[in-house]
Amino acid sequence: MAIASTLLRRLYSKLLQPVIIEFTSLEAMKSAIPDLKQYIDVNQLTPLHPPATLKEILSARDRIISRFQNPLASFKVLEHFKMVAMPLFPRDIEEIAAWPEVAKIYPDRIMSILQYPTVPPEAQYTSPTGQKFTTVTHTKKLLEADIANKEGYNGEGIIVAVPDTGGSPSHEMTRQMEYYSTMREKGQIKDTNGHGEWCVSTIGGREWFDRTLMVKVEGVAPKCHLIGIKCLGFIVGFGFDSDVLEAIQLAIERGAHIVSMSLGSEEVPADPSEDPQIKAVDTMVENGIIPVIAAGNSGPSPGSINSPGCADSALTVGAYDPFTGLVADFSSRGPTPWGTIKPDVVAPGVNIYSGCLGVLDPVGDGLYNHFSVLSGTSMATPHVAGLLACAKQYYESLGVNLTVDLVKTICETYGEPKNNDSGWGILTWSMFKRYAAEHLA
């Protein structure tokens, strides 16, 4: 059937539905665009405006999201995936699904922001609110990224794209980054949430000394080229599948080597062919990109991996606590609905201090100082993306192209037996060095 099973149950509604239409070929998609535009009645679309106040956002997030579930006045062409995103009435969905050139119609889902080595006592701090935390400067050592940096591998020449809530080029750690937006909210370019800034700072933030708490903060790959793409917004950090797909398309076009995605949806179909995000992840891999994706924060129950972290081709990252060395309870577990063991690796993701602006700035430390203490697989994922930027730079110096398949081979060779809690375990710099010495010499 050309209509995804996850969309079928929505057809009983008479309301406009945000959908993504996949075509059998790029030529078929281009030919169909004029006909698709005939289905848009701008008088029936709901205009999109940012939430009125911060209090409204923080006290009624679910209500705000439900308000925006009506389709938006937006028509997105996603050529890399042979897809078009648009709002349609149920009767029109059924009609278009019968077109011979239509491969599948998906719901345009809402997406949102998602015993190992421990840090030593001298790397543990306490915020004014009494919360224990450590910094990226110390957690990067657990991946041995500090050794990589000392050896001259700091991500230089490697492009890392981060589809998220954006970033802040004005932040002390990320003034060098490129910045784009695929959001439908108008006039909202700045990262007002802070989640995206935290992620880009952790991946490639330049060294900065926070004089408020007297701690040093530095990204895992401080010389990599960062591209922050805002595809989640409205302050609370949500968007649609199509916003994320457009961000992935932009990352491909900008020549990204690595795409770090600390986002996801708990709505995972039983069949991977019914998830447009999985197809986008596969497209990234086909283009030579390493997709590093958060497992989700829906643990500890089995089978709780989010989309697109559930994609077989992704390098899926779970979180562990750098204070206890244990996998975090919130970290999503495998398997996927189709039986794939996930996550692939774990990294530090509990109470970590990095660059942050927006509403998340005072979270954890209680200070508006451009830094924040956050937890989640969202925090673990940029650690891995940064390490891979260092590793890719190293392998390029050896004349070897580091792909996601090669990364998984290295994990399988030197990691733990794979399981649905922690995958192959923690990925470290010495694993890349050892593989190079034993297999690439």
Quote the CA–CA distance of 166 and 178 in Å, as a whole number. Answer: 10
Could you say which of 108, 164, 321, 344 is catalytic? 164
Could you say which of 138, 195, 257, 383 is catalytic? 195
Quote the CA–CA distance of 49 and 47 in Å, as a whole number. Answer: 7
Quote the CA–CA distance of 10 and 273 in Å, as a whole number. Answer: 19
Alpha helices by DSSP H, listed for 178-257, are 195-204, 241-253
Query: Which helix (H) or strand (E) segment is 392 a member of?
Result: helix 377-397
Query: Any idea which residue has 């770090």 for tokens?
Result: 260
The string over 177-195, giving b where at least 16 C-beta atoms fall within 10 Å of a residue's C-beta and e elsewhere, is bebbbbbbbeebebbbbbb
Give the list of residues 6+ apart from residue 389 with CB closer than 8 angstroms, or none.
Answer: 155, 158, 160, 203, 204, 220, 221, 224, 257, 258
Give the list of residues 6+ apart from residue 240 with CB closer than 8 angstroms, or none.
Answer: 18, 72, 85, 108, 109, 110, 111, 184
Quote the CA–CA distance of 251 and 228 in Å, as a whole number. Answer: 9
State the sign of the Cα–Cα–Cα–Cα dihedral 327, 330, 335, 336: negative
- The helix-helix angle for 195-204 and 377-397 (nearest 10°) equals 30
User: Helix, strand or coil for residue 259?
Assistant: strand
Tell me if residue 378 is catalytic.
yes
Tokens of 61: 């997030």
Could you say which of 378, 383, 421, 422 is catalytic? 378
Q: What single-letter amino acid sits at 352?
A: I
Q: What single-letter amino acid sits at 224?
A: C
- The helix-helix angle for 241-253 and 276-286 (nearest 10°) equals 10
Strands 132-135, 125-126: parallel, antiparallel or unpaired by DSSP? Answer: antiparallel
Strands 125-126, 225-230: parallel, antiparallel or unpaired by DSSP? Answer: unpaired
Query: Which helix (H) or strand (E) segment is 104 a member of?
Result: strand 102-107
Quote the CA–CA distance of 213 and 127 in Å, as a whole number. Answer: 8
CB 96 within 8 A of CB 36: yes
CB 343 within 8 A of CB 295: yes
Backbone angles phi, psi at 433, to 5 degrees: -65, -40
Quote the CA–CA distance of 382 and 131 in Å, as a whole number. Answer: 22
Q: Which residues are catalytic?
A: 164, 195, 378
